[in-house]
A = this chain, B = another copy of it.
Amino acid sequence: MTSLDATDRRILTILQVDATLTVADLADRIGLSQTPCWKRVKRLQDEGVITARVDLLDRERLDLALVVFVSVKTNQHEGQWLEAFRKASALPEVVEFYRMSGEIDYLLKVLVRDIAAYDRFYKRLIATAPLCDVSSSFAMEQIKFMTALPIHSI
């Protein structure tokens, strides 16, 4: 668990946007030669700073035009209810799932093809556990979306 220096951060900043770069190109960009650059990447992977290398897909091309944020309130905070509701995270349409502070108890980000698909999802969702209040907000337009984390350069 070494701490990350400025060079590590520069490597990460690049790789979280484009992981197709060769080690040689990456090394060039950060002003290192191949070997130390490669060793750093390897270390960042081994230490779990880099958790995965994945392909990102075009949502529209995969027939998932609709992004829905589902706010859930409950009045049942017993362990058993929670255990049941957590199973909602297994629903494939749920891509993000948070327990929240404040008014809303849980927030889900859901990807579906269209309203009809959302309705089918909704029925499965409310079947997982008794929910007090469920509110669905539909995205009309995605203005920004990035998987890259905002790395501060210290």
State the Cβ distance, A26 to closest chain B Cβ, in Å.
11
Partner of A147, one of B49, B56, B61, B149: B56
Whether A17 contacts B98 in the complex (CB less than 8 A), given A62-B12, A86-B143, A111-B149, comes out as no
Query: What is the size, in residues, of chain A's interface with B at 8 Å between Cβ atoms?
Result: 62
- Mask, A9-46, CB within 8 Å of B = 1, is 00010011111100000000000000000000000000
With a cutoff of 8 Å between Cβ atoms, the chain B residues found around residue A17 in the complex are 52, 54
CB–CB B98/A142 < 8 A: yes
CB nearest to A96 among chain B residues:
B145
CB–CB A48/B58 < 8 A: yes
- Mask, A116-152, CB within 8 Å of B = 1, is 0000000000000000000001111111111111111
Whether A100 contacts B18 in the complex (CB less than 8 A), given A62-B149, A150-B111, comes out as no
State the Cβ distance, A27 to closest chain B Cβ, in Å.
16
- Residues of A that sit less than 8 Å from B by CB: 4, 12, 15-20, 47-59, 61-64, 67, 69, 86, 89, 92-104, 106-107, 111, 113, 137-152
Known contacts A19-B19, A49-B58, A101-B139, then 4 further A-B pairs from the complex at CB < 8 Å, ordered by chain A residue: A15-B54, A15-B55, A16-B54, A53-B56
Q: Can you list 10 contacts pairing A with B, beta carbon distance less than 8 Å?
A: A18-B53, A48-B61, A53-B54, A59-B149, A63-B152, A67-B98, A95-B146, A97-B143, A100-B138, A101-B140
